Amino acid sequence: MTGIPVVCISHGEDADGLTCASLLRRLNGARPLLATYDDLEDVLKSVVAPLDEVYICDLNVREGLVDEIIRIRGFASVTLIDHHPPSEGVLERLAEAGVTVVHSLLDCASVLVYDHFREELGRQAGRLAAYAAWADQFEDGPIATLLLREYDRQLVQNEGLILAHAAINRPTEEFRLQVIDALSALKFPHRVPEILEAATNQLEYKAWLIEALGKIATIKGNIAYVEAEKGWPIGTVAGLLLDAMGTYVGVCYVKKGGGLVNISLRSRRGFSFHLGEITNRIARNQGGFGGGHKRASGASIPQGGLEGFLRDFEEELREKFD
């Protein structure tokens, strides 16, 4: 690793992560290292001295990665900025090791980054955080609510959603870095080359999915569920099930190697139950693991437990609504 002594390890798969990397790039020239949960460990291992500062953004650090971050803390300052429900004890262990931890469940990571460096970044950069608030569906977070009042609401909303749809549709390193380049220079997202085509493609894909799901999904009580066809993005499909089927919860699963099934869940807005907590409990009952946000969660369980998982979930929701 040579050159810039600052890196930002950020979630590469969505607009919030890309915006975090853009804000840090703008703040101090941080070099973006985009990660997914599959390669986060390898990305962390690739971070070696000499470096001054390391930022880790929009990534839920699991227990097994704590030691790797503490290793980095041995030669660089480390700041973790995130909004995912943390595994127990992880943030405490990191803070004890001297990592600066900026964490809230209520706002998206980009809004937390902006808020933390608000003075240095200045208010034009706040528009980036505002895009991400829409893109990550955290527009009603306490900081985001105030921030969104500062800018043209519809422009920021539209730009944020262009970013969100395009980031999912064009998951290439080249496009992601191009987005970070543009945003860190305060370009409006719709001016990024090829972004409109990518966003429209994603809208078309979602429209196609909604039509397809209406024909193949199953409704069980307050839940609609479907097995993903090859290549389907299970989180997106779980969310679209709410639209296509009119249920309170959408569940999309995909069978993986090793006898496991990955499950993604989304719930309609406006309910008090916490999807992540229910998912965590029911996944463990089936010998797997899971968790997540209030309205978006995921689990990985043995395939034999799928039927029980759906049944337990449906029962739990039925108790809440009957």
Token digits of residue 263: 């499950």
From 274, 278, 275, 223, select the one nearest 246 (Cα to Cα): 223
Nearer to Mn ion, 137 or 200 (CB): 137
Nearer to Mn ion, 138 or 309 (CB): 138
Nearer to Mn ion, 16 or 159 (CB): 16
Residue type (1 letter), 116: H
Kindly list the residues in this chain that would bind Mn ion in the complex (CB under 5 A).
Answer: 16, 58, 108-109, 136
Q: What is the Cα–Cα distance from 310 to 205, expressed in whole angstroms?
A: 27
**CB distance 148 to 59 below 8 Å:** no
Instruction: Provide the minimum distance between the beta carbon of 287 and Mn ion in the complex, in angstroms, as a whole number.
Output: 29
Nearer to Mn ion, 136 or 139 (CB): 136
DSSP 119: H
Instruction: Provide the minimum distance between the beta carbon of 23 and Mn ion in the complex, in angstroms, as a whole number.
Output: 13
Q: What is the Cα–Cα distance from 36 to 317, expressed in whole angstroms?
A: 31
3-state SS of 289-310? EEEECCCEEEEEEEHHHHHHHH
Instruction: Provide the minimum distance between the beta carbon of 115 and Mn ion in the complex, in angstroms, as a whole number.
Output: 14
Q: Which residue is closest to Mn ion by CB?
A: 16
Q: What is the Cα–Cα distance from 226 to 149, expressed in whole angstroms?
A: 39
Nearer to Mn ion, 26 or 83 (CB): 83
Instruction: Provide the minimum distance between the beta carbon of 135 and Mn ion in the complex, in angstroms, as a whole number.
Output: 9
Taking phi over 0 as left and psi of -120 to 50 as alpha, with beta for the rest, 38 belongs to alpha
Instruction: Provide the minimum distance between the beta carbon of 110 and Mn ion in the complex, in angstroms, as a whole number.
Output: 7
Instruction: Provide the minimum distance between the beta carbon of 292 and Mn ion in the complex, in angstroms, as a whole number.
Output: 12
Nearer to Mn ion, 51 or 143 (CB): 143
